[in-house]
Amino acid sequence: MAGRLQGKVTIVTGGTSGIGRRTVEVFVREGAFVLIAARREKEGNELADSLGERAEFLRTDVSLEADVKAMVAYAVDRFGRLDCLFNNAGGPAPVGGIETIPLEDAEAAMSVLFGGVLLGMKHAAPVMKAQGGGSIINNGSVAGIRAGYSSSMIYSAAKAAVIHLTRCVAMELGELNVRVNSISPGGVATGIFGKALGLPMEEAEKSAEIVKQALASWQPIRRTGMTDDIAMAAVFLASDESTFVNGHDLVVDGGLIGGRQWSVQQEGLNLLRAAFGVGGPEA
C-alpha cells in the first residue's frame, strides 16, 4: 500500500536529531524522498545510509543564505521538484533576564531560529510557485504563544516571530497554491532541554529520558510529548490530506496551553471552601 507521502520530494532541516531525525524516518516510511539538511556530517550520512535510496544528506547551516540556496537547488537537481520543506532546524538561545542578555548571542540565535526559516521560505517559494504548489512547514513552539514556556526569552521571541511570519507568508503564497503552516510542539522529550541548560551535545542527546519523566505531568494528557507526535503532524501538513489548510499553527501539546488543569482548579476551589468554611459540591 502506498504511503501518505508517496513520491513527494521533501527537505527536513535539522534532520540529524530529535524531532527532525524522527520526521525524516517517518517521511521515508510514508514514501517520500528526503533530503536531510543539517550541520553534523557523520550523523547525517549515517542516517541517510540507514534509510536507503530515498534519503540523502547535505551539510547545511541554515543561518547562511548560500547554504540554504544550495540546499533547495540540490533537492531540485537531484529529484526534479520540491513538494515539502520542513524548516525544523533550531538550537538553544541565551538565558537570563533582559538586563543580562548579550546582543551578539541573541542575534546568533535569531539567525538560526528565525533567519533559517525565513531563508528556507525565500528559496523554496520560487520553486513551488513555478511547479504549481507545495507545502512549507515551520517549527514553532508553545513558547512562541505563551510566555514562560522556555528557559530563554530570546527563543520564545524567535518562535513567536516564526509563527507570525508563517501567517504572513501563507497569505502571499497561498494565492499560488503553496501552503505555509507551522507546528507548535509542547514539551517534547528531546535533547534540546539539555542543550539549553549547557550540556555538551552528546550528553544532551542522552537526556531525553530524564525529560520524558520530568514533563509527564505538565499537561492534561499525562505523558510527555514524543518526537512521533510532531512527525505525524508534519506528515499531515505535507500530505494531500491538508490541501485546504493554510496559515495555521498546529499546536501539539497535550493541552498544555489550554488553561488551568482540572485537578489544579479543583485544588484551588477546595482551599477556598476550607477558607470560607463551606463544604464541597456534594455537601
So which residues are the catalytic ones? 155
The angle at the Cα of 151, spanning 166 to 17, to the nearest 5 degrees, equals 65
d(CA 242, CA 236) in angstroms, rounded, equals 6
- 54, with CB counted inside 10 A (0-12, 13-18, 19+), is middle
Give the residue from 64, 8, 6, 3 showing the smallest Cα distance to 37: 64
Tell whether the torsion through CA atoms of 25, 27, 32 and 37 is positive or negative: negative
d(CA 77, CA 88) in angstroms, rounded, equals 22
Instruction: At 154, list the grid cell.
Output: 530570546
Cell 492534561 belongs to which residue?
A: 220
d(CA 17, CA 142) in angstroms, rounded, equals 20
How many CA atoms lie within 13 Å of 254's alpha carbon, on the beta-carbon side? Answer: 17
d(CA 180, CA 174) in angstroms, rounded, equals 7
Non-local (6+) Cβ contacts of 1 within 8 A are: none
| Cβ contact 242:135 at 8 Å | yes
